[in-house]
Structure 1
Amino acid sequence: MVFDYKKEYKEFYLPKKKPSIVELPKINYLAVRGQGDPNAEDGEYKQSIALLYAIAYTIKMSKKGEHQLEGYFDYVVPPLEGFWWQEGLKGVDYTRKEDFHFISLIRLPDFVTKKAFDWAIAEATEKKKMDFSKVEFLSYEEGLCVQCLHVGPYDNEPETVALMHDFMEKEGFQLDISENRYHHEIYLSDARRVPTEKMRTVIRHPIKKSY
């Protein structure tokens, strides 16, 4: 049976359309950092996605090659994610997309060690004749967060974020976005295929107890 992180960890990937509190453990990711408008056709964001998926599928399809990764189990490649921030802002301003900084992410299966990651980078570089030096092995513990499923255009996310912030304050928490804790999005829909009004995105914000 193919392992699917979305189904096995529904509390992280399939929340409801109402805010909830969740605590995230340390997770390993493929990561690419960049900046600029994510909608720019030749921008760093779209380039980052291509790099991530090339490595993600090199690892997934390793089962068919000569190099067998220790502990390998078949799995569904987890959804694309992103950490987003803008300098000087505690949150995001959707009218200033050109000021975005981001870390694009795809979760790694638990069997992928740094050694296995290094192999995948070398393998993809040789086969695809591309530069994958921007791709990182990132271990990140997100910790305590408020999250909610957002349905609709990205530009309407502030409405969902407002609900999240109202909920967290009523529950005795405050926003804890910082240089190491980010506005987090998980993309459950393919924006190229799904109508804008039906796109599903998990929005997650770091929080801490209010005192």
Structure 2
Amino acid sequence: MPKTKPAVIQVPEMIFIMVDGKGDPNTSAEYKNAIEILYGLSYSIKMSKMGGNAPEGYFEYVVPPLEGLWWLDKGYFDGKAIGNKDEFQWTSMIRQPEFITEDVFEEAKAALAKKKPQLDLSAARYTIWEEGLCAQVMHKGSYDDEPATIEKLEQFIEDSGYASDISHERWHHEIYLSDPRKAAAKNLKTVIRHPIRRNV
């Protein structure tokens, strides 16, 4: 996890459960459902040991925080020009331990479907993703105040001899370390991560 001073990081290959969607995360039912699906599947996997059905290689762990990739229907999103949030396209996701296979994921889907048949789990996908070279910084405070922190991150990227590499294949990335339902806006902690490339 970064400090409030930006830093460069090489992000390795990791396993995620992901759900894609669109719309304002504050009002979109699609976003609310995505979050319910992600936590439902993540905790189904974590608690599988309770039913004697722990995956091979299982170890005790804490479910990682929610993360989000963000872009716009008509272009890239750098996190600064927020504009109309209804135009957001997003991928919400939660990292999974390395022992999680696609078969384990499908078993978790089947278990959650029995428990919560109202959820449409077809949108959930198992993904192995390597983010690569990035710069990141810790933002403290309201999500709407992120642009100032992102400007600091972008200046660091330029001063360090890199260039932003946000594209249709690499995105503005946020990792939510705080629960906005429980923490005051001024106390929220969010990792902001941008893909970069060497400026040659």
Q: In 2 relative to 1, CA 89–127 (structure 1 residues): closer, same or farther, beyond 3 Å? A: closer
1:143-199 CA distance string (max 9 Å, x none)? 000100000011111101100110111110000001110000000000001000110
- The answer to whether structure 1 residue 124 and structure 2 residue 112 are counterparts is yes
Aligned mate of 1:144, from 124, 133, 144 = 133
Q: Is the 8 A contact 1:189 1:201 kept in 2?
A: yes
- The answer to whether structure 1 residue 83 and structure 2 residue 72 are counterparts is no
1:82-121 paired onto structure 2 within 5 Å: 82-86=68-72, 87-92=74-79, 93-121=81-109
CA distance in 1 between counterparts of 2:75 and 2:89 reads 12
CA distance in 1 between counterparts of 2:147 and 2:77 reads 13
Q: Counterpart in 2 of 1:179?
A: 168
- The answer to whether structure 1 residue 29 and structure 2 residue 10 are counterparts is no
Q: Is the 8 A contact 1:32 1:105 kept in 2?
A: yes
CA distance in 2 between counterparts of 1:110 and 1:155 reads 34
- The answer to whether structure 1 residue 206 and structure 2 residue 192 are counterparts is no
- The answer to whether structure 1 residue 43 and structure 2 residue 32 are counterparts is no
Q: Counterpart in 1 of 2:7?
A: 20
| Code of the aligned partner of 1:80 | L
RMSD of the TM alignment (CA)? 1.1
Q: Is the 8 A contact 1:31 1:137 kept in 2?
A: yes
| Code of the aligned partner of 1:170 | D
CA distance in 2 between counterparts of 1:136 and 1:163 reads 34
Q: Counterpart in 2 of 1:74?
A: 60
Q: Is the 8 A contact 2:12 2:132 kept in 1?
A: yes
1:3-29 CA distance string (max 9 Å, x none)? xxxxxxxxxxx2100100001011110
Return 105-114 or 63-72, whichever deviates more.
63-72
Give the Å deviation of 1:66. 3.3
CA distance in 1 between counterparts of 2:48 and 2:76 reads 42
Q: Is the 8 A contact 2:162 2:197 kept in 1?
A: yes
Q: Is the 8 A contact 2:77 2:172 kept in 1?
A: no
The percentage of counterpart residues that share the same residue type is: 46
What TM-score do you get using the length of structure 1 for normalisation?
Answer: 0.90
Q: Is the 8 A contact 2:142 2:186 kept in 1?
A: yes
SS at match of 1:133: helix
What TM-score do you get using the length of structure 2 for normalisation?
Answer: 0.95
The runs of at least 4 consecutive aligned structure 1 residues that moved more than 3 Å come to none
Unpaired runs of at least 5, structure 1:
1-13
CA distance in 2 between counterparts of 1:199 and 1:127 reads 32
Q: Is the 8 A contact 2:76 2:168 kept in 1?
A: no
Give the Å deviation of 1:127. 2.3
CA distance in 1 between counterparts of 2:199 and 2:102 reads 37
Unpaired runs of at least 5, structure 2:
none
Give the Å deviation of 1:90. 4.7
